[in-house]
Chains A and B, each alone.
Chain A
């Protein structure tokens, strides 16, 4: 038999679940709808009433993106190749995005981990200024320095190469990683290292065998953020890259939208595909993401 209190509690939990489901549905709806659209044949995309679950399931949009199917323009008796369409470059752009994301994240993490260790374990002039500096850099929006950076890349003859993006993303992610790693390193007790030093380990051994493993959660958190930032950036890709071959996904996918004809199915499939890597990362490392917020973003 249920007591009044239990009944009340059950009702409250039910209400809680209902509101959670509603909120979750609203939050996820855009993505669900994108997925749904991407799996529909053209005829169903514009059907009224619209269908949430496709009546006919098709993977043609994904196929087009992944195989880079050449598209032809039918107008009259002949079929003319219409020149490259964005779909043909999709895989290429995907690889580019992976390269710049991985490259910039790696650089930022290595630099910031070393620096954070140095800042929290050694004493020298200026060591208290660096965190301030990182914080400030963390807040500076990229729109402010994208053009000077671009002109610098021009001078270095790096434009239209993935290096320009890697360096560009380092400039956005480094202050943040620095800040996060600094906060994290500070919270690691120095005694373990001292113990290792007394046991006869060298500084480098201590760093490799003691500090790095302890700092791993921080490193993972910083990496996720760096990856999200690099993967999602549009501005730098838009400004730094000139040729189709070297575009990244974000800029490339916008090209789908800017003709005289928008293929919504294809566009949504592209959107889904470019969200997937971050989603997987997110699912796998969600716990660390939260930890990252705790240590860095919410520091104070």
Chain B
């Protein structure tokens, strides 16, 4: 009896000992910065003159909501997110279907197609600027040479094209994510379902609609929610490619927050933007939890 007691109490000790580093690290490097970010949203803070920092109530939020650029950023972020996700999903599912074949050399293709996911954003932004350079870029050259376009396309110089370019970059980089997820799920679809559908007389398209898609539903929802949250808040993809330009036509909230904090030296406003982003994120997370019934599972 005593031994059992000792074992239990020592077990408990082990459990707490093992979780302790996480708790400490999380509090110091995750909770504290976020709490601090929320606090800063209610302060004026010029990083050059921290001594002048003062409580300003909701002034930062007032500033935010009366700034047309904030609303533009919000809208542009929405457009960029929706279109990115749309293309990522369609292409992702398509490529996954292509890859989901037991054909010779498939592993090779699979490896190459998933590659963009690991390419640093800095690298791809630089390469993008190089190949999409209107005057000396290879893309314009090829399009001109093949007669698809008559005049060079200014990929980053008009608001529409710049938006399209950032979306392209995002789609290029993150479609592999969708591919990996979908592929993993496809591999668990019972083959008998396809056989059953064939025997039932379903053609290729019906099989896709009635067997594949329903099986992918869950994973697609999860992927879409995740990717929406992340895409909405992406900073580097936009900042490194267009710096939010031309004009402010590719600003999203993350770029807006960065510019307010850095260029405008209004850390408070930047933080307030962050708070708005966090609120939207919470909504997204709740959607995610609802869909996956994550909570019930844990209980």
Contact = CB atoms under 8 A, between A and B. Distances in A.
A–B interface present (Cβ within 8 A): yes
A158 to B, nearest CB: 12
B115 A144 contact: no
A196 interface: no
Interface string B21-32: 110011001101
B226 A115 contact: no
Contacts of A37: 130
Interface string B81-114: 0000000000000010011010100000111111
A137 B101 contact: no
Contact of B222 (A19, A139, A300): A300
A176 B266 CA distance: 30
Given A115-B22, A139-B284, A31 B138 contact: no
Interface in B164-178: 172, 177
Interface string A129-164: 011110111011111110111011000000000000
Contacts of B267: 147
B282 to A, nearest CB: 8
Contacts of B129: 257
A85 interface: no
Given A118-B15, A144-B274, A178-B22, A20 B98 contact: yes
Interface string A269-290: 0010011001101110010011
B298 to A, nearest CB: 5
Nearest to A23: B95
Contacts, number: 260
Across the A-B interface, give the 4 residue pairs with the lowest CB-CB distance, nearest first. Answer: A122-B15, A300-B292, A115-B22, A141-B233
Interface of B: 10-12, 14-19, 21-22, 25-26, 29-30, 32-34, 36-37, 40, 47, 95, 98-99, 101, 103, 109-124, 126-131, 136, 138, 141, 145, 172, 177, 180-181, 183-185, 218-219, 222-223, 226, 229-230, 233-236, 240, 254, 257-258, 261, 267, 270-271, 274, 277-278, 281-282, 284-285, 288-289, 291-295, 298-299
Interface of A: 13, 16-17, 19-20, 23-24, 27-31, 33-34, 37, 46, 48-50, 107, 110-112, 114-115, 117-119, 121-124, 128, 130-133, 135-137, 139-145, 147-149, 151-152, 167-168, 170-171, 174-175, 178, 203-204, 228, 231-232, 234-235, 249-251, 253-254, 257, 264, 267-268, 271, 274-275, 278-279, 281-283, 286, 289-290, 293-294, 297-300
